[in-house]
Structure formats: structure tokens, C-alpha cells
Amino acid sequence: MGRVVVEVMPKPEILDPQGKAVVGALPRLGFTQFTGARQGKRFELEVDGEVTPEVLQAAREAAETLLSNPIIEDVVRVADASEESAGVSA
Amino acid sequence: MGRVVVEVMPKPEILDPQGKAVVGALPRLGFTQFTGARQGKRFELEVDGEVTPEVLQAAREAAETLLSNPIIEDVVRVADASEESAGVSA
């Protein structure tokens, strides 16, 4: 079973109230090193077989049509989840 | 200016109505290769300087406390955005 990760962020010029809430809360919790925050979406799409180039192409098309609103959002990443960099917490 | 990416997904056993809506809509739009979908969150946190190990550690702590609800969500990724794999769509 393969998995494709699609990530979508609000465009830089678009107001992001959720990000604003995060950036306001961080210093109150002692996280003073962060100067900005934006909040977007991460989708994981599953396929029965492997993540082929055709699957990635279909995921890109789905990302631009169903999973994002191109007026206010950018698709920042479409990738095979198995190739995801290890930077996992804990 | 550095940027840290924090990604959070609903735990596998938790109902994910947004993911269900996506997986229902995909075949209607002709994307028949996807058998499942989950929707989570992607945060981008900015720092003035570089993304040091201390910054990543603070981001991990913020991820577990402010940015996710550990009862229903998993932090799946905390990473320096500049090391993000290139798999970006178009």
C-alpha cells in the first residue's frame, strides 16, 4: 500500500487567522524564538499499489482542483510518503 | 530567516470526517486510484536566525503541547523547511 502526501498552505498575502492565533500563543507558553506562524493542511492519500509517477501526477491534479483553492492557497508539496525526510519528532 | 515545518495527523483510530469527504469526492472527479484519505495540519514556524537543534527541540515541544491534541492527533513530522524534499508540484 502506497501513500502520497499533499500539502497546502495559504498564500503569503492571504490573512491566516489560525496562524495568527498560533503566533500569539507561542510566546505565552514560553516559546519566544518563533516570529511567525502559518497554518495549512496536510493530506495523506492511499493507493492500493505502489506510488508510480502516474499516481503522483493524479495526486498533483487532485491537489490543484479538490484539495486546494488556487485563489487563496498554494500546493507546496506532493510527494511519496515513503520518501519523506525522517525529521519526525520523538 | 529559518522555517520549521510541523505536521500533525489525526490518529488512525480517530474518525476523520474531512478525510472521508475527500475520499468520497476523489472518484467523482475521476481520481479512481485513491482508496483512502486523511486530513491533518501543516504548520510553518518562522525564526529570525537559523534552524538550530535548539529551535527544532522547541518546535517539537510546541508541536506536542500547542499544535496538536495528543489524545486524538500524532505529530508526524518536525523538520527544517530548507531540508524539505523537493517533491513540489509544478
pLDDT confidence of B90, banded at 50, 70, 90? very low
CB contact under 8 A, B87 and A78: yes
| ipTM of predicted complex | 0.92
A22 CB within 8 Å of a chain B CB: yes
Q: Which residue of B has its CA nearest to A47?
A: B34
* pLDDT tens-place string over residues A7-36: 999 999 999 999 999 999 999 999 999 999
* pLDDT tens-place string over residues B19-78: 999 999 999 999 999 999 999 999 999 999 999 999 999 999 999 999 999 999 999 999
Task: List, in order, residues 6 or more apart from B62 with CB less than 8 Å away.
Answer: A26, A29, A31, A34, B6, B45
- Residue A66 structural domain: 2-86
Q: Which amino acid is residue B12, in one-letter code?
A: P
Q: How many CB pairs under 8 A join A and B?
A: 156
* DSSP 3-state percent helix, strand, coil across chain B (nearest 5): 30, 35, 35
pTM of the model: 0.92
pLDDT of res. A16 = 97
CATH code, domain carrying A26 = 3.30.1280.10
Domain count, chain A: 1
B39 CB within 8 Å of a chain A CB: yes
